[in-house]
Amino acid sequence: KLIEECPLSSALNEDKYALNILRRFRDKSLAVSNSGMLITSLYYSNAREIINILNSKRYSISKHPFIYEGDMR
């Protein structure tokens, strides 16, 4: 199934470095266990709702800078 929406891709403004780290975690760590695959499935099946929450006025990344603060490189 083609994944068209990724909340973290939106939240990280397509930061390729950070996204590659997260994708590697998904593919190398989560994908090797049933529970990890379930987490990944739930994440993508709820992607639209997660994006709506991240874009809502009640939720602001400026209120939660720990999500993406500092340089991950």
For 11, phi then psi, to 5°, come to: -65, -35
pLDDT at 56: 79
**pLDDT at residue 3 is higher than 80:** no
For 30, phi then psi, to 5°, come to: -70, -35
Residue 33 to residues 37, 40, 43, Cα–Cα distance (Å): 6, 11, 15
Greater confidence, 27 or 51? 27
pTM: 0.68
